[in-house]
Structure 1
């Protein structure tokens, strides 16, 4: 099964960091929002963070969280704030999807992200928040074994 994300649309510019006319649906925001604890994990994606960032023409930022460097792309799509990230030393290669805590409908938020990425739910590896352990996580068919 192929989990690649298609490349950006031909007319998309780099994701803007300020208001400007651009058909790209992503709005680049700051990694520091994620660090400040305003986000919660809702899902994992099989495509790499580089692939996802490439599709939306995002800049990833390098930071540090807990015991590992983390690469993060902060975006807003249709009013939903996302943190897309991957921990360097984690055996999990998934792109972790977090949403701002005030997001009321996680499934709708995930659908908004998938529409922008041009992929379907088959790329989901899990739903739920890994920080609470396996009890709150639903592992899905796209899940890959840990490396």
Structure 2
């Protein structure tokens, strides 16, 4: 029995897929849910990959890692700021060996930002697995 003054919301229709399910716009559910990381990621660009695992980086920086999802699956994400520069780290749950470094799109000095991040992490350039330039070269087919 409903509490006086409350409105009962019916459960989902039996043929509605979860709102966060892959295959947007193909199911019966009129709602498509997106993750906070999907929304936030539009403000960032991928600039590098790091070799250390996310757990080690998060522990060093005392970051809270959030689990969310995107079209490709579950992702662990941490957003943070160092000296006025906004960074994000992301790692797909199904590919724990690849740690991506994202930088706020307003930041123009990518190399300077990476040096700040590496300095705070207490590691050298050997911690960088790839850079934005490596990605561009790979996409254009000019990577050695």
Higher strand proportion: 1
Change (3 A) 1:58 1:74: same
Q: How does 1:67-106 map to 2 (within 5 A)?
A: 67-90=72-95, 93-106=97-110
Q: Please give the root-mean-square deviation of Cα atoms over the aligned residues, in Å.
A: 2.8
Residues 56-94 of structure 1: per-residue CA shift (max 9 Å, x gap): 11100011012210001100000110001101123x612
How many equivalent residue pairs? 108
Q: Which residue in the other structure is 1:124 paired with?
A: 128
Change (3 A) 1:129 1:73: farther
- TM-score, structure 2 length as denominator? 0.66
Highest Rg: 1 or 2?
A: 2
- TM-score, structure 1 length as denominator? 0.64
Where do 4+ consecutive residues of structure 1 move more than 4 Å? 129-133, 136-139
Change (3 A) 1:58 1:99: same
CA distance in 2 between partners of 1:83 and 1:138 (Å) = 28
Larger RCO (CA under 8 A, 6+ residues apart): 1
